[in-house]
Every structure is written in C-alpha cells, then in structure tokens.
C-alpha cells in the first residue's frame, strides 16, 4: 500500500509516514456491540498489517483498556514497522464520566498506555476531546514534555475546533487532527480543513464509512445489539435510515461502473480529497477488511469526483450524527 505523510512536525520535521488507509481498532472491543473474541481481534489486526496497513488507532477508553491490550499483543512482533496512535482525555477512561486532561492525568494515562501497548513510545498521542476545564496550552505543553522525554513522538487532537487547534499548535506542533468526516458528514470542510491545510496538519477521518451505513450492509430492517452506540444515534433511527438509503444507492450506482463497492467508493473519495488525509475504517470481519483496503488501489478521476459531488448534492442526509449529550463534547 502507498504511504502518506501526516503533518510536517516531529523528528526530522518530515511528518509521520503511515499507510494511505489506517485501521480503526475501536469496534473490536467497544462501541459497536459486544467485543469480539480475542483470537478474532488478533487475527483482524494482524491481517490488516499483512495487507499493508501500518497505522493502527486505539484509545484507553475503548473497553476501557482492553483494546490497547489487544493492539499491543497483536503488533508486538512488528512494533518497529507500525505506527500506533492512542488517546487520553476522559475521566477514569470512561466517556460517560466527562473529560480530564489535567497534566498529571495525561502523564498517568501515557505511562499506563505504554505498558498495555507493550512499547516504549507512543507514535501519535491524541487528546480525545478538548477539555474546557484545562487550557489547551497546558495540554500541549505536557505532551511536548513527553515528546522531549521520548515517550511520545507526535501530538494529535480529536474533534477539536479551529481556536483550540491554533492555540495548541503554537505550543507543540500538531501532527494530526482526528474527526468524523465522510460523504455523509462534511462539516469539517467548512470548519477545520482550511486551517489544517494552512498549518500543515494531517487529517485522520474516523467513521469514514458512516459507522457502517455507507457499506450498504445496514438497512431499515437491521437490528443493532444492546450496547451498540448506533442505537442512540439519530441518523440511525428507522425513518432516517430509510431516507439515507438513497445515498448508498448513489454510491452503488457509481461503483458499478468501476467494479467497486459503495464502501470502496466512499473511501476512495476521501483519499482523493487531499494527500494529507488518512481514513481509519474499522471492521470485525476479514472479508470487510479486504474490501475496505481495496479502496487504496481505486483511482477516481476529476470527472468521477464531479459526478459524485453532483449525485450526493441531490441526497440530503437525514438525522443528527450524535445525540445532544455527546455532541456537547465536540469542540467547535
């Protein structure tokens, strides 16, 4: 798989080189229904590496803790050949308890994450959500100290707004911003992407397949298991799913002419937006993994992109992307 550069900061000032598509490990342990069996999780992560993925995303809150342990075990044998990103920022590693980015918490979480990941450094350490109680300069300064100590190599932010990005970047250059971005959530194009381009910061879209919806595998008949986050997402309400199916139909029609699936078109579209964008689709299934990674070899022409834009413009997406109490954690 071809590689891309995130940011222009860090050792050598050459940015962080990663595979064009990364792998979001969260769903193996957290958020989208029951965690998979350990053997299955190890197999999926290792298969991703074998197919060219070198960029793996996790967080202490995923589980909590178990996802980092899974990633650490899966990649221990190839540690020097991969880039591991993890995150701090939720109180007691639980996203239901609010945020906590106090410097002492960042340090404690980093030490614990290093142990779970079986490594001596974290390649990319994100603040999971901006903490309104802690100045972003203090957060960036703490991570800067960890970089000087060699425990962290690059600094990232997740779901941060323009002001927070600028203030953090002034203290410690930000290598990457991770936020939701896909064909059914394009708000970052108006808010944060211009400043990322200006400052030379990479962009790591999570949920690049709309939490699975853009694959075409989710219909109005789909029942999510208890504990699946999508049960409380307005965009996945039955009426919204019915309306949003038109978007998948458009992707399927476009893909038919390229022998590509809706998921592959959605990922290829992201890759074509900017050279500094690295999506991190996740899955629990080996066949879906192979399908997703196939998007890295799919080339979309300028005409293809115009056709996609025209088609998508005619399909307004229905439903909010988050329930109100979670949207309140997004820094805009």
Report the catalytic residues. 62
DSSP run (H or E) holding 263: helix 262-273
Helix, strand and coil percent figures for the chain, each rounded to 5: 45, 15, 40
Other Cβ atoms closer than 10 A to 178: 25
Which residue, among 6, 2, 40, has the nearest Cα to 293 in the 3D structure? 2
Q: CA 327: distance to chain centroid? A: 17
Q: Which residues pair with 219 in a beta bridge?
A: none
Q: What is the DSSP letter of 329?
A: T
Other Cβ atoms closer than 10 A to 188: 18
Output the CA torsion sign for 226, 227, 228, 232: positive
Which residue, among 103, 164, 83, 154, has the nearest Cα to 129 in the 3D structure? 164
Cα–Cα distance for residue pair 317/326, rounded to 1 Å: 19
């Amino acid at each position: 798989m071809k590689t891309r550069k995130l940011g222009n900061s860090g050792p050598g000032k050459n940015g962080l080189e990663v595979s064009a598509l990364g792998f979001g490990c969260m769903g193996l342990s957290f958020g989208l229904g029951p965690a998979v069996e350990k053997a299955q999780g190890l197999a999926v992560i290792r298969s991703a590496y074998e197919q060219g993925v070198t960029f793996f995303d996790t967080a202490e809150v995923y589980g909590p803790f178990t996802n980092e342990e899974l990633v650490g075990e899966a990649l221990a044998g190839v540690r020097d050949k991969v880039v591991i990103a993890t995150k701090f920022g939720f109180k007691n590693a639980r996203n239901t308890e609010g945020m906590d980015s106090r410097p002492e918490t960042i340090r404690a979480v980093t030490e614990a994450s290093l142990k779970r990941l079986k490594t001596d450094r974290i390649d990319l350490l994100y603040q999971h959500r901006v903490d309104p109680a802690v100045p972003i300069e203090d957060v960036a300064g703490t991570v800067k100290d960890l970089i000087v100590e060699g425990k962290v190599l690059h600094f990232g932010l997740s779901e941060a707004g323009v002001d927070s990005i600028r203030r953090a970047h002034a203290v410690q250059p930000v290598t990457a911003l991770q936020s939701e971005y896909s064909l059914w959530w394009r708000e970052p194009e108006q808010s944060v992407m211009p400043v990322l381009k200006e400052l030379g910061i990479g962009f790591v879209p999570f949920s690049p397949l709309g939490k699975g919806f853009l694959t075409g595998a989710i219909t109005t008949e789909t029942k999510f298991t208890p504990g699946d986050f999508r049960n409380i997402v307005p965009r996945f309400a039955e009426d919204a799913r019915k309306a949003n199916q038109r978007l998948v139909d458009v992707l399927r029609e476009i893909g038919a002419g390229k022998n590509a699936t809706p998921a592959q078109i959605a990922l290829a579209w992201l890759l074509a937006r900017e050279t500094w964008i690295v999506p991190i689709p996740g899955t629990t299934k080996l066949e879906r993994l192979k399908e997703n990674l196939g998007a890295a070899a799919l080339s979309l022409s300028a005409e293809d992109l115009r056709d996609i834009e025209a088609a998508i413009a005619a399909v307004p997406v229905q439903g909010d992307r988050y329930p109100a109490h979670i949207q309140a954690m997004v820094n805009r």
